[in-house]
Every structure is written in C-alpha cells, then in structure tokens.
Amino acid sequence: MNTFDFTQSFRDADLVRGVMEEIRRTVTRPWVLMEICGGQTHSIVRHGLDQLLPPEIELVHGPGCPVCVTPLEQIDRALAIASRPDVIFTSYGDMLRVPGSNRDLFSIRAQGGDVRVVYSPLDAVKIARENPHKQVVFFAIGFETTAPPNVMAVRQAKALGLKNFSVLVSHVRVPPAIRAILGSPSNRVQGFLLAGHVCSIMGYWEYPPLAEQYRVPMVVTGFEPLDLANGILKVIQLLEAGQVEVANAYSRLVTFEGNRPAQQMISEVFMDCDRAWRGIGVIPQSGWRLRPEYAKFDAEERFDVAEIAPKESPLCIAGQIMQGMKKPHDCPAFGTLCTPEHPLGATMVSSEGACAAYYKYGR
Amino acid sequence: MTDSLDLTGAVCPIPLPHNEQIVLGHGSGGKMAADLIAKTFLPAFDNPALRAGDDGAVVEVPPGKLVLSTDSHVVSPLFFPGGDIGHLAVCGTVNDLAVMGATPLYLTAGFILEEGLPLDTLQRIVHSMRAAAEEAGVQIVSGDTKVVQRGKADGVYIATAGVGVLPPGRQLGGAQAQPGDVVLLSGPMGDHGIAVLAARGELGFETDIHSDCAPLNGLIARLLAACPDVHVLRDPTRGGVATTLNEIARQSGVGITLFEKNLPVRPAVAAVCEMLGFDPLYVANEGKVLVILPRQSADRALEALRASKEGREAVLIGEVTATPPGRVLMKTAIGSTRVVDMLAGELLPRIC
C-alpha cells in the first residue's frame, strides 16, 4: 500500500528514542517548559513522554483546554438556556460533563431538557432548519482552532435567514493568555510549545513580539509523540544557545501566515473582547465575541442571561495549575474530593485538562 | 339516543386486523397478543417447551451446576452493519454464559415494543434472533411481550435471560487471575461501538466497519478443550477492554500490564477514534473474549483461538503481575509506562 499512516509513523518508538537521546545530549541545566495546548498535555501523559525526558526538563501544563477555561458564568448561562422548554441546546460532547454552579448539561438532559451532542456546529444549523418551532442554540466554545467552523455556522444561519439559531460564544485566544502568564511576577516558564492546531489556522506571526518582549523562545509543536519530542528538542536547543525566536516544528501543517481566508472570515464575524478564563480570571482582549452586525445570532442577547454571575469552589487550584505555578498533586482535593466523576473544577473535567490527564494516567 | 333511530341492518364495524404495525392491543394478553405469538414468535423459535404454551418452560438439563445470566438490550439504531438488536440480545446472554465456562442451553426473551413499531421490523429482529440462537445451539424457550405508548420507548427493547450448565470440576471467574498469567484477546478492539456510532449517521462520513457481534460459545468450548487451565474469561462489552481488565485486576487483587504495540485495532476503527478523541481500549465489543491463563499455555490457547473464525486475529496483549494490585498499566509503544483507568462515564467525543 502506498498510503502514509499519519498517526503510527509519528509514534515510531525508535524515532522518538532517537530524539530523546538528542535532547539528553543537548540539555545542560534545568529548564521549565509549558505546552500551551490541552491536546498536547493529553498526548504527553497518554504516551508517557514526560517519563522519557531527562530530569532537567520540567513540563508545566498550560491553559489550552477550551473546555476547562470556559468560565463558570458561561456554563451557568448555558444551563439556564438549555433548561428552557423551547430550546434545543447543542454542544460538543465533552461540555456536557462540565459542572456549573450546581449542575451540568447531563442533569439538564436527565430532567427533560433537549440537550444534543453534535460533531460540528453545522449540524446544529441543520437541526435549526429541521425544527423551525424550536430555538436551537450552539455552545460555541474553543480556541482559534474551532473558530472557523463556528463562524461558518453563523454565516450559514444568516445566509439561510434562520430566525431560530443562535450561538453562546465563549471563544478564547492563545496569545493574550501567553502574555498574561509571562507578565505574571510568579512566572516560571522559560520556553513555550505553541499549539500546532491553533497555528494551523492563525499562523505564528502573532508570537515574535511576545517572544522578544519576554525573552522566551517558542516552538510551534504538533501532537504526536514524535512531534512533541521534536518541539521540546527545538526549544531546548534555543534555550541552551541563548537564542530567542519563534521556530516551527510542525511545518507539515503550519505556515507563518496561517490560513488567511479562515482568518479573514473570523474577523468578519468575531471581534476581540475581554474574557474571563475559568480558574484564572479576566484576561484583557483575550476572547472573541460576535460583532454587532451578528447580534441577532447571539444567545446571550436572545435569552437575557447576562445577569448570571456565579462564584467558584474555593478548594480548586485550577487557576494556579493552568498558569504553571502548581501541579495537580499539589491540590489537597486531587483524586479525593475531586475526580473525573465528581469534578470540582475546570481541569478535572475534560480529558485535555491537566488534572483529568494526571488522574486518568495515574500520575 | 332517540326513539326514531332505525337500527335495522346496523352492524358493528369489523376491527382492523393491525397486521402492519404494533398497537397497544398486541400487549393486552388477549387475541391480538396470541396472534402475535402464533404468527411471529412461535414459527421462528419453535421448540417443544415453547410450543407447550404454559407459563414456564420445562427443560432437560445435563449434570453440573446451573449458570444463570440476564441482560437487557437497548440500541439505536436497531439495525447496524454486522448485526441488530435481536442478534445482540441472543449473543450477549450466550456470551455471558460462555465466559463463565458454561455450555449455554436455553434463553428466555422479554420484548418491550413501542406502539407503531412496524411488524415487519419486529419480524426481521425475531428472524435474526432465531439465526443467532441456531448458530449458538441454544433454544429460546419462554418469552413475554409488552407494548408501551408511542414515545415511551425506542422501537424495541429486548431482555434475555439464559441458562447454561457448568461441567463438573470447571471453575472460572474474575477473581482467579494470578501473577505469571498472560492476557489474550480474541481479535481487534472497538468494532461494535464504532459500527453502531457510524450507523447513527451523525458522523458526517461513512465507514465500512462491521460490528463483531457473534456468539462465542463455540470458540470458548474449543479453547477450553485445548487449555483446561484457563483462569479467567470475560467479554469486553461496554467500557471496552480497559474497563473489563480493571474489573478483573480488582477482583483478583493483581496488576495487569498491557503492551500498547500488541493491542489490535483495525485501521478504520483507529482512524474514527483518532478523529473523535476516543481510545479504542474503551470502545464496546460484542464478539471478543479476554483470556487469562498461565504463560506456558499461551501458545496452545492462541492456536486454539485462531482455528475459529471469531478468534482468527487473537493476540497476546498483556501479562498479570503481583503489583500494583487492582490496577492496569500499559507499556506504551515509545517505552514509557502509564495507568489505564476504567471508563468514567459516557464516552464523549472531544472538541478538538
């Protein structure tokens, strides 16, 4: 067969060991690296990549799980909307387990709410067309990666003249989060693995000013063991050489400019806004919301849920974990009061959350 | 009523026969129910115990201990590539008996039918049950039918119970795994779960993945004939191989280590799992068996499994260790070790 296996080839044990050997040869002193993306955290722990790294390298886990950082007030708004009898609430699967102040979407569904898992926001548009007498709401969460399909859904709903489709937007962006982490006085991160999927849409032109300002090298990195090993090697090479630059170790998918038509479409529909990150707090200009000309597709406007503004569990240290200040086992509730079945906070909820990954893979 | 009504020649309208779809009357216990049994269930499952028409089935049982098992089946869609709810309902209970080391003999079947279910659909399901029962060599000797209002069920639910006989001297169970044993799996993981998911038509792409749904009693009988020293057999259905092995590790108080590079997954199943963020270790199987037995018998067991079509792709996937008790570990393909936990709740597709 002539087909190339895009997963197995990047999980080749010999190739990964070779890169690990190169990392061991290169490293001379301790370094703290942050993988920004939750998909990378999941992959690192699933494949046990961190165990193969030399002891000098510490990986801390960034805030790049969209499920984890979706703020409590947006979850509570989602729950309020989903409980309405006139609503079909649609969402990506892993949002259903995320706890709001006192319940989750699963319990809304169990109590009779029409909550449906979709694989794409375009499926939600289809549901809206098929159910003209219901209000269909899609929970549009995510980083830059999920913005193009979410934007497509809104544009399609507009083109179809749908009056019963709206999105509850909770979009966040990576560069402002990196700025917040690096700008914190307690920051420990010395090098970044940038999120490959985010960069496949956005390119990496936004990052050189950040790297320069904070003197921190960054490397665009993929998700398979070999991608991650290569990304780590590249950051270590830059750190050891005292070089500050933004390098690309995921060139099979990412270019400097990124996907320009997608970026163009995003900026037509979304605009920057301040956004609260669950466990971290408000990061200025770190999110996207719908532009005023798309306001009629905004579920927050349609359902009058802006007043909902709840408080977090005081036990949860997700915020410090996502800023790289603490690890999951530093939390007294980890694995006892807080488990994937009964998550107290953001990072235990999604399989991409650092606490859930540590719990699942027995760290 | 008035006196002026002329009733000459008035007749009651003859009720419609309702032979195209299930209506509430089919569950009434009256003539319609009897008709349904006579026309649909009896011809398909025909055997002396059922034909007797009594409240219970009287059956012959060879010497040995009785093993009883029950399982309820709900699946959407009712028909999927490689099987349907009827096939599943027979195989599920047959396999639960077979992994206990028992010879499955008799099943009972309870049907919850939703008003409006096309009779033709029920007939297809019943024929599929008959085919699966014939393949497994069991008889369906007793049954029950209830009909619920439209909207109160999803077409049809089937609960089956089964009786099997454990030959004297044989004892298998989840608590009998021992350090030094190895873990075999009779074929690739996740075919059933992904086939059903794809059949719902929500994925936006088509696959040629077929459910592995099959009765395993023949395969298991041949395995036990070749290797009477098997300690544990279990079918990794919902929760997948990972959850089943966690149960066994807890019951036996042993550790189990899997070898990632040995884990069998078809490329198409692996691809769907990658896209949706599923791990095939947690996806359901309906025609696979996990075998735990002493290492020295592994080759003989693999040979016996591979001689049957259901076990042609059997492989050794792991080993049993003294520590850590109650946990499942995995040696990853790149040489590290991690814990493999049970499935927490519903298997959810990931956002990205």
User: B99: domain CATH number?
Assistant: 3.30.1330.10
Residue B126 lies in a domain: yes
Residue B37 lies in a domain: yes
Is A350 in Cβ contact with B350 (below 8 Å)?
yes
Residue B6 lies in a domain: no
Residue B234 lies in a domain: yes
Q: Are residues B88 and B140 in the same domain?
A: yes
Q: Are residues B154 and B192 in the same domain?
A: no
Contact status, residue A286 vs residue A180, Cβ threshold 8 Å: yes
Residue A339: predicted pLDDT = 87
Report yes or no: B341 at the A interface, CB cutoff 8 Å.
yes
- The chain B residue lying nearest A106, using CA atoms, is B346
Last residue of a domain, one of B136, B166, B196: B166
Residue B344 lies in a domain: no
* Tens-binned pLDDT, residue by residue, of chain B (352 aa): 455 666 666 667 776 766 789 998 888 888 888 889 999 999 999 999 999 989 999 999 999 999 999 999 999 999 999 999 999 999 999 999 999 999 999 999 999 999 999 999 999 999 999 999 999 999 999 999 999 999 999 999 999 999 999 998 898 999 999 999 999 999 999 999 999 999 988 777 788 899 999 999 999 999 999 999 999 999 999 999 999 999 999 999 999 999 999 999 999 999 999 888 899 999 999 999 999 999 999 999 999 999 999 999 999 999 999 999 999 999 998 889 999 988 866 666 666 5
Last residue of a domain, one of B120, B139, B166: B166
Segment A118-147 shows an average pLDDT of 95
Burial label for B129, CB within 10 Å (0-12, 13-18, 19+), is buried
Per-residue confidence band for A2, with pLDDT thresholds at 50, 70 and 90: very low
Q: Are residues B134 and B238 in the same domain?
A: no
Residue B5: predicted pLDDT = 67
C-alpha A301 chain-centroid distance = 25
Report yes or no: A51 at the B interface, CB cutoff 8 Å.
yes
| Alpha carbon of A116: minimum distance to chain B alpha carbons (Å) | 11
What's the domain count of chain B?
A: 2
Residue among A113, A64, A102, A111 at smallest CA distance from A308: A102
For residue B39 the two structure tokens come to 């026309």
**Residues contacting residue B98 through CB under 8 Å, at least 6 positions apart:** B104, B164, B215, B216, B217, B220, B221, B233, B289
- A11 contacts in B (CB within 8 Å)? 333-334
Question: At residue A279, does pLDDT exceed 80?
Answer: no
* DSSP characters over A123-140: HHHHHHHH-TTSEEEEEE
Report yes or no: A47 at the B interface, CB cutoff 8 Å.
yes
Residue A313: predicted pLDDT = 73
Q: Are residues B330 and B242 in the same domain?
A: yes
Report yes or no: B261 at the A interface, CB cutoff 8 Å.
yes
Q: Are residues B75 and B150 in the same domain?
A: yes
* DSSP characters over A43-92: HHHHHTHHHHS-TTEEEEEEEE-HHHHS-HHHHHHHHHHHTSTTEEEEE-
Enclosing domain of residue B162: 24-54+63-166
**What amino acid is encoded at A166 in this protein?**
S
Q: Are residues B151 and B122 in the same domain?
A: yes
Nearest to A13 among B267, B333, B351 (CB): B333
Share of chain A above pLDDT 70, in %: 98
- The chain B residue lying nearest A48, using CA atoms, is B336
> Strand, coil or helix: what is A118?
coil
**Rounded-to-5 percentages of helix, strand, coil across chain A:** 45, 20, 35
For residue A168 the two structure tokens come to 């509850």
Best of A6, A45, A46, A69 to disrupt the B interface by mutation (most B CBs within 10 Å)? A46
E-strand ranges in chain A read 31-37, 57-64, 87-91, 114-117, 135-142, 165-172, 191-195, 218-221, 246-248, 270-277, 281-290
Residue B141 lies in a domain: yes
Q: Are residues B158 and B42 in the same domain?
A: yes
Which residue spans of chain A are classified as CATH 3.40.50.11740? 27-315
Contact status, residue A331 vs residue A317, Cβ threshold 8 Å: yes
Contact status, residue A141 vs residue A78, Cβ threshold 8 Å: no
Contact status, residue A156 vs residue A122, Cβ threshold 8 Å: yes
Per-residue confidence band for A1, with pLDDT thresholds at 50, 70 and 90: very low
**What amino acid is encoded at A146 in this protein?**
T
- The chain B residue lying nearest A4, using CA atoms, is B267
Q: Are residues B150 and B39 in the same domain?
A: yes
Report yes or no: B349 at the A interface, CB cutoff 8 Å.
yes
- Report pTM: 0.86
Mean pLDDT is lowest, of A107-111, A349-353, B226-230, for A349-353
Question: At residue A4, does pLDDT exceed 60?
Answer: no
Residue A82: predicted pLDDT = 97
- Please name the residue that has the structure tokens 């008959």: B130
Q: Are residues B291 and B206 in the same domain?
A: yes
**A194 - beta bridge partners?**
A220
Nearest to B335 among A17, A39, A45 (CB): A17
Q: Is the ipTM of this complex over 0.90?
A: no
CATH number for region A27-315 = 3.40.50.11740
Question: At residue A3, does pLDDT exceed 70?
Answer: no
Q: Are residues B49 and B105 in the same domain?
A: yes
Nearest to B351 among A5, A66, A362 (CB): A66
Is A119 in Cβ contact with B349 (below 8 Å)?
yes
Task: Express each pLDDT in A191-218 by its tens digit.
Answer: 999 999 999 999 999 999 999 999 999 9
Is B334 in Cβ contact with A48 (below 8 Å)?
yes
- Please name the residue that has the structure tokens 């009594």: B54
E-strand ranges in chain B read 65-73, 79-80, 83-84, 103-114, 139-148, 156-166, 181-185, 232-234, 255-259, 290-294, 315-321, 328-331, 337-339
Question: At residue A68, does pLDDT exceed 90?
Answer: no
| Alpha carbon of B169: minimum distance to chain A alpha carbons (Å) | 39
**Higher per-residue confidence, B277 vs A258:** A258
User: B281: domain CATH number?
Assistant: 3.90.650.10
| Alpha carbon of A112: minimum distance to chain B alpha carbons (Å) | 13
B-facing residues of A in 73-112 (CB < 8 A) are 92-97, 106
Residue A11: predicted pLDDT = 86
- A363 contacts in B (CB within 8 Å)? 339
Last residue of a domain, one of B166, B183, B200: B166
Question: At residue A7, does pLDDT exceed 80?
Answer: no
Q: Are residues B198 and B282 in the same domain?
A: yes
Report yes or no: B338 at the A interface, CB cutoff 8 Å.
yes
For residue B281 the two structure tokens come to 């270790």
Residue B138 lies in a domain: yes
| Alpha carbon of A17: minimum distance to chain B alpha carbons (Å) | 7
- d(CA A129, CA A140) in angstroms, rounded, equals 18
Q: Are residues B157 and B186 in the same domain?
A: no
Residue B351 lies in a domain: no
